[in-house]
Amino acid sequence: MGRMDQEGQTMVDESRIHEAARLIGQSDHLVILTGAGVSRESGIPTFREALDGLWERYDPMLLATPQAFQNNPKLVWDWYEYRREMVRAVQPNPGHAALAELEDLLPSVVVVTQNVDDLHQRAGSSDIVTLHGSLMASKCFFDCQGQPTLVDVAALLDYDPDDGPPACPHCGRWVRPAVVWFGEMLPEGALSRAITAVEVADVILVVGTSGLIEPAASLPRLARQAGATLIEVNPRASQITPLVDVWLAGPSGVVLPQVLQAIRAG
Ligand code: BV8
């Protein structure tokens, strides 16, 4: 068990930090797989917490579906507007920054994220595969001009935010968030890019995911089968923990800067 820091956080043993730094520091192809936990220290509640966090009235699993949107477009649209405002109001945390800085130290770094916020982008990571789309983008519900038919809502002059989802400027039907809902296929290009990346990777760094959502949760297994070394950063055990070589059981905003510092110290 690690020492406790002044906030009472369990500190991760130095030996594990240095073991992770050694493995990551010598990687030829690092893939970083992130989930909602990497944004937690920016102030964005995770899905697990959402059930009793800021979204206590809404179960993300029930609202993040095409059926929920068709049943109540304004409720779902307003929930996403609420989440967009939350993301706009926060900043990337030291965990996002450390992941971006790894690109200066290693030959190849790819971030494969389940998150729909734009915090990895704002932190400066340059090679990002977004498996579940983007909270900050909107599209025609029917992709009437082709997949995806993106719509710049800010440019819709006659749009009143109190009216729920805007009308598509092309076909007049609903505009929706450009995210992947439960029951929807992931964007073909993103999933195949992620699979290729984990098959080539020699080290996978899994940060802040419960490992419950498919097909993202299968990527660490795929990497393991291909012979990669797995490292996890998560204060709690996840579905991925049994697979990993090194588990850093602490918050990513604290642990990742420690790993980065250990790599720099070489
Ligand atoms: C698909 C965008 C093919 C939307 C998201 C039955 C019917 C239909 C589908 C299914 C079914 N059974 C299974 C499925 C597949 C389904 C699925 O996985 N369901 C689950 C419930 C089992 N998947 C799909 O539907 C996918 N599509 O499979 O298509 C298909 C089609 C039809 C039928 C069958 C198959 C689409 C999945 C994408 C859904 N969209 N997001 C939105 O955001 O509104 S997923 C959403 O939830 C997030 O994007 C995120 O990816 C996910 C939550 O997972 P995590 O990121 O892991 O977050 P979580 O809160 O769970 O965990 C946080 C972790 O952080 C914890 O471990 C915690 O300990 C840790 N943590 C906390 N603090 C910190 C920390 N870590 C580090 N530092 C800290 N400080």
Pocket probe for ligand 1: among 213, 231, 236, 244, the residue whose CB has the most ligand atoms within 8 Å is: 213
* Ligand 1 lining (C-beta closer than 6 Å): 35-37, 40-41, 46-48, 60-61, 64, 114-116, 132, 179-186, 208-210, 212-215, 233-236, 238, 251-253
Enter the pTM of the model.
0.95
132 is catalytic: yes
- Cis-peptide into 92, omega within 30 deg: no
The pLDDT assigned to 51 comes to 55
Residue 266 Cα to ligand 1 middle (Å):
36
Separation in Å, CA 174 to CA 61, 141, 171: 21, 6, 9
Q: What is the pLDDT of residue 62?
A: 81
Q: Print pLDDT tens along the chain (266 aa).
A: 445 555 555 578 999 999 999 999 999 999 999 999 999 999 998 887 765 554 556 777 789 999 999 999 999 999 999 999 999 999 999 999 999 999 999 999 999 999 999 999 999 999 999 999 999 999 999 999 999 999 999 999 888 888 999 999 999 999 999 999 999 999 989 999 999 999 999 999 999 999 999 999 999 999 999 999 999 999 999 999 999 999 999 999 999 999 999 999 98
Give the pLDDT of residue 1.
Answer: 43
Closest CA to 140 of 172, 175, 109, 166: 175
Asked whether 121 and 42 are in contact (CB, 8 A), the reply is no
